[in-house]
Amino acid sequence: MRIDSFRAPLAVAWQLTRRCDLACVHCLTESGPHCCGPEELSKEDCLRIARECVACGIPYVILTGGEPALSPHFLDLAETLGRGGVWLKVETNGQRFGPAAAERLAKLPIRSVQVSIDGAAQGPYARLRPGADLQAALDACRTVRRLGMPLEVTFVPTAFNLGEAKAVIDLAVDLGAFRFNTGRLIRMGRADRRWEGLSPSQDEYQILYSILLRKEAELAGRMELCFRPFSAEEQALQEACEPSGTLVVLPDGKVLAAALSDQVCADLRHESLTEAWAAYRRVRRDPGSKKNGFAAGRKPAVARSGDGAR
């Protein structure tokens, strides 16, 4: 893909806040109830960036966190982007995704709402997400569907909940999800600190992979199973070979050069989105870009919310 000749990013994955009502044991951004620092962007800065996204013609913005719904600017931002014609994806844990917010979102071009469900029963679900209520997440999914918004379900496999995968896939079908996302646990944040106890074994991953292949065939045409690339390493390699053109914006306005990198290429507090895009291209420049024409590109980098799955 010729990102070097694009005049603006193809997508923005925007981590609105580190604040979250949960403190999941596998959270790769280490978000939690007390994680909202003074360094997070002000409403004015957020709205300025949102307007820039619209003006630049960015087609797609992923709003994530932490828990994006806990950002005081969440709905204003979503409305600024959505009314400007930007397709939106919202990644939520579903704990506080109530009808009032959902109804406001439903008026916008919502590409999807993604809800994290790591277990089909309260026990395994709450083991990864202490204090979380599975019923609240399921209610959020049903609200999303009732309001006509496309639903995605994300499942993070760990040693605690691997056996839940098949049941969660079936649950996602029942909930009306169009896509189920999973992949290997990513060794970052809290997942890194608890890696030994948390990470499934190779054998367990092989079992999961075979389940995914089987369910993919079984559910073809009903629900998409998204699990390739399966590991963070594969994703990073793909991104290195073919940059996605997705800017990853952190809560403090810093911009990452890649989804799973810690290399900051710009700071939106002091730079415009156009300048950030130029910086991203400088970092990611690929001299062997493809010939112009009608060429199917790869998927842009997925957002990296707290959920450590890939």
Partner 1 sequence: MDEGLAGYGELVRRAWRTGKFLVKGPGRPTSLLKAAGTLGLQPRPRAGRGAPGRGGEKVPEARRSVRGEMEEIVKRESAEALGSLAVHQEGTMKLAPFVKFREEKFGAVLFETRSEKVFTLNKTGAAVVRAILAGAGEADLVARLRERCEDKTGKLEAEALSFLKQLKKKGLVTE
Give the shortest CB-50-to-partner 1 separation in angstroms.
11
Q: Pick from 45, 54, 209, 231 the residue near partner 1 by CB under 8 A.
A: 54
Q: Of residues 234-263, which lie at the interface with partner 1 (CB under 8 A)?
A: 245
Please choose, out of 32-40, 79-87, 131-139, 215-223, the segment that lies near partner 1 by the rule CB under 8 A. 79-87
**Cα 24 off chain centre by:** 15
Tell me which stretch binds partner 1 (CB under 8 A): 22-30, 50-58, 65-73, 100-108: 50-58
- The pattern of x and - marking residues 288 through 307 that bind partner 1 according to CB under 8 A reads ----xxxxxxxxx-x-----
Q: How far is the CB of 57 from partner 1 (least distance, A)?
A: 5
Q: Inter-axis angle of helices 202-218 and 165-175, to 10 degrees?
A: 30
Strands (E) across 34-178 are located at 60-64, 87-92, 110-116, 151-154
Q: What is the dihedral of CA 221, 224, 230, 235, to 10 degrees?
A: 110
User: How many positions of this chain bind partner 1 (CB under 8 A)?
Assistant: 37
Residue in 233, 281, 274 with CA at minimum distance from that of residue 257: 281
* Span near partner 1 by CB under 8 A; candidates 46-54, 140-148, 196-204, 257-265: 46-54
Cβ at position 52, least distance to partner 1 in Å: 6
Per CB under 8 A, which of residues 178..237 are in contact with partner 1? Answer: 178
- Residue 42 CB neighbour total at 10 angstroms: 12
Who's near 248: CB < 8 A, 6+ residues apart?
A: 12, 13, 15, 255, 256, 258, 259, 301, 303, 304
Contact region for partner 1 (CB under 8 A) — 16-24, 53-61, 211-219, 254-262? 53-61
CB 77 within 8 A of CB 47: yes
Bridge partners of residue 88, in order along the sequence? 61, 110
Nearest approach in angstroms of CB 244 to partner 1 is 8
Candidate residues 33, 72, 79, 84; the one interacting with partner 1 per rule CB under 8 A: 84
Distance CA 182, CA 12 (A): 21
CA distance 88 to 244: 17
| Residue ranges that bind partner 1, judged by CB under 8 A | 1-2, 5-8, 10-11, 48, 51-52, 54-55, 57, 59-60, 83-85, 87, 89, 111-112, 150, 178, 245, 272, 292-300, 302
